[in-house]
Amino acid sequence: MAKPQFFFFSGKGGVGKTTMACASAVRYAEQGLKTLIVTTDPASNLADVFERPIGHRVTSLGVANLWGMEIDPDRATEEYRERILAPMRSVMPVDVIKVLEEQFNSPCTTEIASFDRFVDFMAGEGTEDRGAPGSYDVIIFDTAPTGHTIRLLELPVDWSKHIEQSAKGGGNTCIGPVASIQENKRKYDEAARLLADPTRTTFVFVLRPEETSIYETRRSLDELRTIGVANIEFVINGILPKEVCEHPFFARRFQAQQAHLTRIGEVFPGKQRRMFQRDGEVKGMKALRSIAGDLYAENDRQGSYRLETADAGERRDGPSTVSEFAFTDPERILELMRPRKGTKAVFFTGKGGVGKTTVSCAAAVHLARSGYKTLLLTTDPASHIGAVLHQDVDGTISAVRGVPGLFATIIDQKRVVEEYKRRILDDARARYSEDVLTAVAEELESPCTEEMAAFDKFMHYVESEEYEVVVFDTAPTGHTLRLLQLPFDYSEQVGMMVTTNAAGSAARSESQGRFDRIIERMKDPERSAFAFVVYPESTPVVEAYRAMLDLRAAGIPTQFVIANQVLEAEYCTNDYFVRRRAMQQRHLAEISRLFLLPVIELPLLDTDVEGLEMVEVAADALFAPVAVR
């Protein structure tokens, strides 16, 4: 049998990666190719699109030649830990095993375990997973949003180098003794080789004809090339059909999209496919077959607009099926964001691409204009707050031009890693022997250090009392939850490398106190406000609801919801937009029922939110009193 072909679907959050990946999987399967689709997104919605349970095992998707798997980070961690420790249990003393088990509670174990499971599929291991055929013709990876995907693809080289260097030193890594994971290096080397092989691996960027999507794709394209990925294609999704844009509002959006499409054709080399926006949601096999038919059609009809392709379930949403949804007065939301006793931290999270950055920028501008000294920052590795503000934003805090009292920064991964290493080593020099110092320096070369350094910087801003309000534009939901859960996971890991002496215990005690203070601040509604940004569509709503429950389980309450890109009735003058608006109204009612929280809207605007002037327009639209709407 021929060696499998690998396809990675990625792009800015919310551009339709999962839909395009699922439709492609259906196409290959129906061509008679044994096809596996695997999601590496911690906030996966693969099961929602296929409308059947999947989970952390290779599962038939109900049609010939098609299987799927959702990598569960917790399950992957358990499997990885036991695979490394099981051979040692019979030969190592109990106290040594106990120390190793403590090491495997490290937050970086979750990252490496999920990554290791992903590499298994590329290196030809793990494909005979509980009942599935042992080999495939096509393996499709539905990945997390771009910044996290680039991180994932860099890991084979990073971990291979770390294992090699550790073998020359103390022989230990934060993911286990080198002797027990040498075989992993072979896998990681093979994965790196396959990623760079254009005959085996194709990377598909999904983007929309919007400025921020183009910006992120251009930046990520450069990063992909640095790690050797050569075979790159593009899918431009969400294109408005000209024939439904007769209203001046949508005509302006159509013209803006056409300008972006021209630019995309000029700046992105390689094969490009186009897909029109549907008038309903894409779920189920019938809808996926329709998408696949259009996506892979001949050029003369590729991306054709066919109203009749909507599923029966979508067509039910006529204009009379849902009553108008009543939004909360924005003044109530503003009251939740205003500081009362010290600095207020305001977190905006949600599924990738729902408009967290736009909402974060608009909220920060409004708060600063209201007289509060405000810091806007992002924890998203694919940040584009600078692109939205049309100003340079980097790892240093800088004033936002045109908005007195507003400052902005990003958590610059490379900078915070170097700062973190330097601080840890400086502290270790004052506390520990040369042998311990060497061990600490070796551990700090682990790729896990990036996550810990970013979290450390995140904690710094949560603790900050320099600003009256700190607005966090967070990474997509799954990664945000991972970040917010780190205090709970990581608090036992402080000083892990020096657990054998009293100084290590003192370090743990000191850091535990810091973690406890931060946790309490995030749980306190007077000091922190958590909000979900959603599109009124099925997948963003379901994902946000699940995430809200996860936060609640950690003791962190959600305080409000922002529904973004809501269609206003006056612009919906034809069947296409009437159906889309009816769909939105149904999901707005579902948001009200599920969340039982205040909900405000940011209406769909007739142009992209780019530049300070448009951010101010968005802020005014978001926080306009209900009486004047």
pLDDT tens sequence across 67-103: 999 888 778 777 777 777 776 677 667 776 666 666 6
107 against 112, higher pLDDT = 112
Q: Residue 443: its pLDDT value, please?
A: 67
Write the CATH number for 545: 3.40.50.300
Flag whether 101 is in a domain: yes
What pLDDT band is residue 321 in, cutting at 50, 70 and 90? Answer: very low
* Of the listed ranges 112-116, 119-123, 518-522, the one predicted with least confidence: 112-116
Rounded Cα–Cα distance for residues 416 and 467 (Å): 21
- Between residues 390 and 475, which one has the greater pLDDT? 390
- Whether residues 294 and 407 share a domain: the answer is no
301 and 346 both lie in a single domain: no
Domain match, 458 and 488 both: yes
Task: Kindly report the average pLDDT of the chain as a whole number.
Answer: 78
Beta bridge partners of 383: none
Q: Does the structure show a pLDDT above 80 at 333? A: yes
**Better-scored residue on pLDDT, 30 or 419:** 30
DSSP labels, 3-50: PPEEEEEE-STTSSHHHHHHHHHHHHHHTT--EEEEE--TT--HHHHH
Number of structural domains (the chain) is 2
Whether residue 265 is contained in a domain is answered as no
pLDDT, position 222: 79
Note whether residue 260 is domain-resident: no
pLDDT for 383? 57
- 256 in a structural domain: no
Token look-up 């922190």 returns 528
Confidence of residue 151 (pLDDT cuts 50, 70, 90): low
Range of the domain at 401: 330-628
CB 181 within 8 A of CB 163: yes
* Residue 297 sits in the same domain as residue 351: no
Strands 138-142, 5-10: pairing kind: parallel
Same domain, 230 and 339: no
pLDDT at position 365, please?
96
Do residues 392 and 295 both lie within one domain? no
Asked whether residue 259 carries a pLDDT value surpassing 80, the answer given is yes
**Do 301 and 359 have their domain in common?**
no
Q: Do residues 496 and 106 lie in contact, with contact meaning Cβ atoms separated by under 8 Å?
A: yes
pLDDT at position 120: 79
* Torsion (CA) 353, 355, 356, 361 in degrees, nearest 10: 140
| pLDDT, mean of residues 375-380 | 83
Clarify whether residues 425 and 307 are in a common domain.
Answer: no
**Is there a single domain that holds both residue 300 and residue 365?**
no
Whether 248 is in a domain gets the answer no
Question: What pLDDT, on a 0 to 100 scale, did the predictor assign at position 152?
Answer: 54
Domain annotation covers residue 560 = yes
What was the pLDDT predicted at 48?
83
Stronger pLDDT, 178 or 592, i.e. the higher one: 592
Query: Is the pLDDT at 536 greater than 80, yes or no?
Result: yes
pLDDT band for position 623 (cuts 50, 70, 90): very high
Q: What integer is the mean pLDDT of 528-534?
A: 92
Structure-model confidence comparison of residues 325 and 602, the more confident one: 602
Pick the more confident residue, 371 or 2. 371
Q: CB within 8 A of 218, min separation 6: which ones? A: 267, 268
Examine the domain organization and report whether 572 and 613 are in the same domain: yes
DSSP 395: S
Residues 231 and 156 in one domain: yes
In the predicted structure, residue 399 carries a pLDDT above the cut 60: yes
Q: pLDDT tens digit string along 1-56?
A: 467 899 989 877 678 888 999 999 999 999 999 999 988 766 667 888 898 889 88
Q: What is the pLDDT of residue 101?
A: 65
Using the predicted structure, report yes or no on whether residue 518 has a pLDDT greater than 70.
Answer: yes
Q: How far is it, in rounded angstroms, from Cα 510 to Cα 217?
A: 42
The confidence band for 550, taking pLDDT boundaries of 50, 70 and 90, is: confident
Does residue 386 carry a pLDDT above 90? no
pLDDT band at 371 (very low <50, low <70, confident <90, very high): very high
| Same domain for 371 and 233 | no
Residue 163 lies in a domain: yes
* Span 423-440, average pLDDT: 73
> What would the mean pLDDT of 438-453 be, rounded to a whole number?
68
Tokens 């206003």, located at residue = 568
Tell whether the model's pLDDT for residue 202 goes beyond 80: yes
Q: How confident is the model at residue 510 (pLDDT cuts 50, 70, 90)?
A: low
- Cα dist from 515 to 171, 364, 553, 583, whole Å: 30, 26, 18, 43
Structure confidence at residue 298 (pLDDT):
57
List strands edge to edge, sheet with 201-207: 59-60, 66-70, 35-39, 138-142, 5-10, 201-207, 232-239, 272-276
Residue 43: predicted pLDDT: 60
What pLDDT is recorded for position 314?
41
Is residue 458 in a domain? yes
Question: Mean pLDDT, to the nearest integer, of 596-621?
Answer: 92
In this predicted structure, what is the pLDDT of residue 346? 94
